[in-house]
């Protein structure tokens, strides 16, 4: 792979241009690791954010977390200070911010025009993030007849 010359970009931006496009940037990995540590501390099995957008507006419908015992876990009841942040925020807000960061990294502008929807899941057991995204698409079929 060709390495691009270093410009006025940050090292992270340059790394994004020269590496696998499916690899998350370093700050996103740090956010994921912080959330995983907090979720493990509180015996959370997984967390999910459901989002939707269209007509130039996008939003997260809801977030939910599941504890190891299978019961819902109240993300809003606990706080975390995320890497790069000066102030703590609720686990709910931190997870939503992380979800938006991931969504925008791979599907920026999804909310424009027809829009899209999806779910972001953080599985604590496997330490994996899954982004399941769908774009709304308008198709056109043409029929032309001359006789």
pLDDT at 54: 85
4 pLDDT higher than 50:
no
* Backbone conformation region of residue 135, classed left if phi is above 0, alpha if psi is from -120 to 50, else beta: beta
Cα of 42 vs its chain's centroid, Å: 21
pLDDT tens column, 60-79: 999 999 999 999 999 999 99
Q: How many residues does the chain have?
A: 147
Which residue has 């299978």 as its token pair? Answer: 70
Q: What is the pTM of this model?
A: 0.81
Token pair for 33: 């690791």
pLDDT tens column, 43-53: 999 999 999 98
Cα of 98 vs its chain's centroid, Å: 6
pLDDT tens column, 101-132: 999 999 888 888 888 999 999 999 999 999 99
């Amino acid at each position: 792979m060709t390495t691009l010359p270093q410009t006025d970009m940050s090292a992270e931006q340059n790394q994004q241009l020269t590496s696998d496009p499916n690899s998350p940037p370093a700050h996103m990995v740090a956010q994921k690791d912080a959330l995983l540590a907090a979720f493990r501390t509180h015996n959370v099995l997984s967390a999910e954010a459901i989002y939707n957008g269209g007509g130039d507006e996008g939003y997260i419908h809801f977030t939910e977390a599941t504890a190891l015992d299978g019961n819902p876990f109240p993300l809003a009841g606990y706080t975390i200070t995320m890497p790069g942040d000066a102030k703590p925020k609720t686990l709910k807000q931190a997870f939503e911010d992380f979800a938006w960061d991931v969504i925008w990294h791979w599907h920026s502008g999804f909310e424009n025009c027809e829009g899209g929807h999806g779910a972001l899941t953080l599985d604590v057991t496997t330490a994996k993030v899954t982004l399941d995204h769908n774009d709304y698409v308008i198709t056109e079929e043409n029929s032309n007849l001359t006789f």
